[in-house]
Amino acid sequence: MGRIDKDGLDEIILVGKKLYERGLVSATDGNISVRKNDDEILITRSGVCKGELSAEDILVVSTSGDVLTGRGKPSVELPMHLGIYSVRKDVRAIVHAHPPVLTALTMTGVNFNSAWLPEVWLSVGPVPTVPYAPPSSKELADQVTRLITNCNALLLERHGSITVGRNLSEAYYRTEKLEHAALVGVFTAIVSGKLPGPLDQEKLRELERLFSVRSS
């Protein structure tokens, strides 16, 4: 993926296409945002298919939630995005998707574990699950804002995923890697009858030493 252009529009359109084509969202699900500067973010419009975004579907919104440029309503999950940007100054982009395997695992009572695979642990780190709250609710935004302070990804019970990054590529690839790892976990369960266990603490510390700790 190329660098973010001046307004970040091209890369948001590209990531929307990838999310849709890889089945990480369906219909008009999901939302994408990029921090433009200290006072403004770019966010996808509500109710549009992420596989068919155009520049008009991306709005400039202030950090207090006012639409500054563009027509239509911003994503209903805007409060969740603004909450994350308010507590994570290092975060420049956020991807919210509905990946089917990750979402299925939130309903099994067996949590997904990013420590199943070494590279997923290194590039994403721990991935807590947020207990169910209605989509777009203040309750959900508050829980996400509280939990994201210590991690780069969250799963939302019966709903989907949130990944953050220092740029949009990083946020998007974290979603893709997590869904891929979830699929590996489910294949393991099909073959062996149970989900894999995580790498133990000693092996995780060894990985972090070897790769001098994951970014952001």
CA–CA separation, 159 vs 29, rounded Å?
10
Q: How far is the CB of 199 from Zn ion (least distance, A)?
A: 30
Among positions 155-174, residues that touch Zn ion (CB under 5 A) are: 160
Which range touches Zn ion (CB under 5 A), out of 122-130, 153-161, 168-176, 189-197? Answer: 153-161
Q: Can you read off the two tokens belonging to residue 80?
A: 């969740």
Which strands sit side by side in the sheet containing 153-156, from one edge to the other? Answer: 67-69, 58-62, 40-44, 31-35, 93-97, 160-165, 153-156, 129-130
Cβ distance 31 to 96 under 8 Å?
yes
Q: How far is the CB of 108 from Zn ion (least distance, A)?
A: 19
Q: How far is the CB of 124 from Zn ion (least distance, A)?
A: 19
Which residues are part of the catalytic machinery? Answer: 77
Which of 74, 160 has the CB closer to Zn ion?
Answer: 160
Which of 119, 142 has the CB closer to Zn ion?
Answer: 142
Which of 32, 124 has the CB closer to Zn ion?
Answer: 32
What does the CA dihedral 145, 146, 147, 150 come to, rounded to 10 degrees? Answer: 100
Q: How far is the CB of 188 from Zn ion (least distance, A)?
A: 27
Q: How far is the CB of 25 from Zn ion (least distance, A)?
A: 8
Footprint of Zn ion on this chain (CB under 5 A)?
160
